[in-house]
């Protein structure tokens, strides 16, 4: 395969709060440096692209020293937290904005779907926007006309294709925009979170079309999404961005694993370990609660296909009979998905000393959302040893749960993958 796109030392700097450099003096300084063949003096300043940190400079690097190559027919995933620089990178690749430093080298036409309705004129009809976007992509009128019926049929907007786009819903706009970008046969298709807007039917069609584009037609796709299941099912390779820098590049499975296990990602997504300081009484003292994967790595973000291991470490100050720990798993609204208890294991008695209870939540049980783990302990009908406390947060990333190949979040607190059989 040949290289169809190459990014070399791409960096993008912005001045906070202003458009452009902000002052004539800064523009003159840049101009004078350029006349003398010197480096832009403002490239030496600027803080790291961390949206959660307080600004310590008037300038910020949205991207810094991004380098990668994309082969013809490859589907490259670009993943990272909000504010990591993903959309900025796609805008540079699509020529919407220029990099502060570096160069993009491409072969062939690029079609972009960056935001809902980008490039659509609201006063024009859907049909007229098909021709407008095709012309922008460099297509002749005859080429666009030959694809017109396919575009309209794929979008599912036949009834409204001669209605001004300003009257379309966001879902209808993204359907039509995706159809235009996909069917007008660009060499490189750049897509930013298209699956976040469409419904389940459209998501399935879009995933299928992107696979056809790359595998059948041999064209290249750059795909940004927070949906790890979509990235894993569609992309052949991925890069992970953090604070405007590339922190990982490699196979899709390895990139998703790195993203979910990255320490900074974990700290931003929730508590990963609970260390008890004052949860103690005369009978028992809670020491620690942790959530790990099958390799004993402490985490808070999991794919639906991964089992979740929970460890509860406590100190029994005396022998305790008939006790149990209860663990409640609830969503962000406080609605309980399920409760589990250690009663059958611990009811006969716990000896004095330190103990660790272990529990596994199986794969393909929890739905795509954030859950709170609430713990309490006691002797039923007698005494509450540990009052209910929220100990940990767990984030579940969607991955074909519910037995469907749709990339979507199913309703419900849980989403088990159950076995179906068909008798003929």
Model pLDDT for residues 200-235, shown as the tens digit of each residue: 677 777 777 777 877 777 788 898 887 777 788 788
Spatial distance between the Cα atoms of 313 and 273, rounded to a whole number of angstroms: 12
Q: Are 386 and 380 in contact (CB under 8 A)?
A: no
What DSSP element (H or E) covers 252?
helix 252-261
Poorest-pLDDT segment among 92-96, 138-142, 272-276, 360-364: 272-276
Continuous H helices in 20-107: 24-35, 86-93
- Whether 40 shows a pLDDT value over 60: the answer reads yes
pLDDT in tens, 293-347: 888 888 888 888 889 999 999 999 999 999 999 999 998 778 899 999 999 998 8
Q: How far is CA 342 from the centre of its chain?
A: 35
Q: Is 60 helix (H, G, I), strand (E, B) or coil?
A: strand
- Cα–Cα distance for residue pair 400/233, rounded to 1 Å: 10
- What is the value of pTM for the model shown? 0.64
For residues 91, 93, 94 and 99, what is the CA-based torsion angle, rounded to 10 degrees?
60
In the chain, the N- to C-terminal Cα span, in Å, equals 46
Contact 223, 255 (CB under 8 A): no
Task: Count Cβ atoms below 10 Å from residue 165 Cβ, excluding itself.
Answer: 22
Model confidence pLDDT, tens digit, residues 266-289: 444 445 567 766 677 888 999 989
- At what angle are helices 170-183 and 141-155 packed, to 10 degrees? 140
Q: Looking at the predicted structure, is the pLDDT value of residue 96 above 50?
A: yes
Q: What does the pLDDT look like over 159-209, one tens digit per residue?
A: 899 999 889 887 888 888 888 877 877 788 888 876 655 666 777 777 777
Domains and CATH numbers, the chain: 68-264 (3.40.50.300), 271-403 (2.70.50.60)
């Amino acid at each position: 395969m040949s290289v169809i796109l190459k990014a070399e030392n791409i960096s993008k700097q912005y001045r906070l709060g202003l458009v452009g450099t902000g002052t004539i003096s800064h523009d003159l300084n840049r101009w004078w440096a350029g006349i003398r063949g010197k480096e832009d003096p403002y490239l030496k300043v600027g803080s790291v692209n961390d949206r959660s940190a307080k600004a310590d400079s008037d300038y910020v690097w949205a991207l810094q020293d991004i380098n990668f190559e994309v082969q013809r027919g490859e589907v490259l995933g670009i993943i990272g937290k909000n504010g990591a620089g993903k959309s900025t990178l796609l805008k540079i690749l699509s020529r919407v904005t220029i990099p502060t430093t570096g160069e993009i080298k491409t072969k062939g036409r690029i079609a972009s779907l960056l935001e809902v309705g980008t490039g659509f004129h609201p006063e024009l009809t859907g049909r007229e926007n098909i021709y407008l976007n095709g012309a922008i992509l460099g297509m002749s009128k005859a080429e666009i006309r030959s694809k017109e019926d396919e575009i309209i049929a794929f979008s599912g907007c036949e009834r409204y294709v001669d209605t001004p786009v300003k009257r379309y819903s966001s879902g209808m706009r993204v359907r039509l925009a995706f159809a235009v970008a996909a069917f007008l046969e660009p060499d490189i298709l750049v897509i930013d979170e298209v699956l976040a807007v469409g419904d389940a039917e459209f998501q399935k069609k879009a995933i299928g079309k992107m696979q056809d584009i790359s595998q059948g037609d041999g064209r290249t796709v750059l795909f940004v999404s927070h949906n790890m299941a979509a990235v894993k099912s569609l992309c052949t390779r991925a890069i992970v961005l953090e604070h405007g820098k590339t922190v990982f590049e490699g196979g899709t499975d390895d990139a998703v694993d790195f993203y979910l296990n990255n320490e900074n990602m974990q700290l931003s997504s929730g508590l990963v370990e609970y260390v008890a300081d004052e949860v103690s009484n005369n009978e028992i003292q809670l020491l620690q609660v942790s959530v790990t994967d099958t390799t004993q790595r402490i985490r808070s973000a999991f794919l639906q296909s991964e089992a979740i291991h929970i460890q509860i470490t406590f100190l029994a100050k005396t022998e305790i009979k008939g006790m149990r720990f209860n663990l409640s798993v609830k969503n962000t609204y406080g609605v309980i998905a399920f409760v589990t208890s250690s009663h059958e294991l611990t009811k006969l008695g716990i000896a004095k000393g330190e103990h660790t209870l272990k529990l596994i939540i199986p794969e393909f049980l929890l739905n795509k959302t954030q859950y709170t783990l609430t713990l309490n302990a006691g002797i039923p009908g007698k005494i509450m040893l540990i009052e209910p406390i929220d100990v940990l947060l767990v984030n579940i990333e969607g991955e074909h749960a519910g037995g469907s190949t749709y990339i979507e979040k199913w309703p419900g607190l849980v989403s088990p993958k159950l076995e179906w059989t068909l008798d003929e």
